[in-house]
Structure 1
């Protein structure tokens, strides 16, 4: 039987993830997931572990009011309030998208600039300012916050086990930053799914996830793997048109609550 074996939320894009026993879904995926982002102060360009590996050591936990609690070794924790959706708007760029979103203020910017060691700003995306998903995939009204392209990412536990066996060591699921982990399927069974249901919510499986060098960063230490693993192995046996694929991007149709242990039904 297929079951939901883990739930992860990443409040700050490229920050530390948090494991959850349950989570609510809204139009943009898991409530509180990747609604915040760091940008270069001068250019407004988004920042991730690809260029700033130390972000893997930055804890930015979602609080019940929608704000963040920032913490990192050597820094006093900072509470960041949810900004007004129409105030202090800042132009930012994420991949090919440009948008205007509220800035979280100078105190958060100073704290994070000290951690990153260069001038940065913290921004938030409210629902009404969210981006559209990639044209040609999904539906015309599908939206996404600051995730790379889609609201949710799913990985089968058996797929990670298969990759770990090929690499020769046990790999942490958090290297791949999924929201949903499914147990009970064969390795890469998720590649063939089109629609699934978890609890009362249905999901469309819209596109495979192309992986990058970020997978080589140890989520515990922030250090890059000297042999470029597991990205090197993924390139050897999961290379397809568009990149080395691992995991599936999802869009949820409707809102609801997910809990670890829920059965998963493949509808199509």
Structure 2
């Protein structure tokens, strides 16, 4: 049986995931509370639509050392806690709280190998956008729910000396009970718990997956490995989904049914 092995959401775009026992899939195809906040660059305007390109704010693709920041978001209190090295800060989403959080992230990045990136025109001061509830800072205008198979990550891990686990790929849903790469061949519809999805397309990966989620160091040339060792035309792992007729709840352990 194919089942849900793990569920994740990402309260702050580009930062660490939160593992969840369940996720609410909204009618618009986004995960509730996912990418509801973003640290934007100084010259990045607040977007009018529900999308925010990685190039306009902090993202693992360009700032791999963000992976070391331990992040926790309290939905009820709407407070964000950031912990890394000597920095341990918790603040709300008031104007002063946002400033404190942005300053703390800047102070941390100044101590890392990514520090020089902060000196480019238009980067500082960072600002924290979002209400902490509305999923609106996805890379793609349509949003999507992302999924990959445990076996695909295990196959990739076996080809490189660096540790490779689910966290590198930042999916919302991780499924077990399939052979490696099987999910890339899914077509049509997939039912997960009480939600039926339509498979949209495979996920072409970026440099974010090369960053070790514990150390923040680029320690695995996974983009090249995917195209050479696995003969892919483009580095691909996982698929994008959209709900067919409204959202609902999905839970760890839910059965996954591929509908022919």
Asked if TM exceeds 0.5, the reply is yes
Root-mean-square deviation (Å): 2.5
1:76 maps to which residue? 88
Could you tell me the TM-score, scaled by structure 2's length? 0.79
Instruction: After TM superposition, give the deviation of residue 147 of structure 1 in Å.
Output: 2.3
Select the structure that is richer in strand.
1
User: Number of aligned pairs?
Assistant: 230
1:112·1:121 contact (CA, 8 Å) conserved in 2?
no
Instruction: After TM superposition, give the deviation of residue 120 of structure 1 in Å.
Output: 0.7
Is 2:221 aligned against 1:220?
no
Q: How does 1:180-219 map to 2 (within 5 A)?
A: 180-193=173-186, 194-219=188-213
Structure 2: tracts of 5 or more residues without a match? 46-55, 111-117, 119-124
CA-to-partner distance for each residue in 1:173-199, whole Å, 9 max, x for gaps?
101111101111121111122311111
Could you tell me the TM-score, scaled by structure 1's length? 0.77
* SS of match in other structure, 2:4: strand
Distance 1:151-1:67 versus aligned 2 partners, 3 A rule: farther
Q: Aligned partners of 2:165 and 2:16: how far apart in 1?
A: 13
* SS of match in other structure, 1:232: helix
1:109·1:122 contact (CA, 8 Å) conserved in 2?
yes
Structure 1: tracts of 5 or more residues without a match? 89-102, 131-143
2:77·2:92 contact (CA, 8 Å) conserved in 1?
no
1:138 maps to which residue? none
2:68·2:214 contact (CA, 8 Å) conserved in 1?
yes
1:267 maps to which residue? 259
Q: Aligned partners of 1:115 and 1:106: how far apart in 2?
A: 14
Q: How does 1:73-222 map to 2 (within 5 A)?
A: 73=84, 74-81=86-93, 105-117=98-110, 118=118, 119-124=125-130, 145-149=136-140, 150-167=143-160, 170-193=163-186, 194-222=188-216
2:203·2:240 contact (CA, 8 Å) conserved in 1?
yes
Greater relative contact order (Cα 8 A, min sep 6): structure 1 or 2?
2
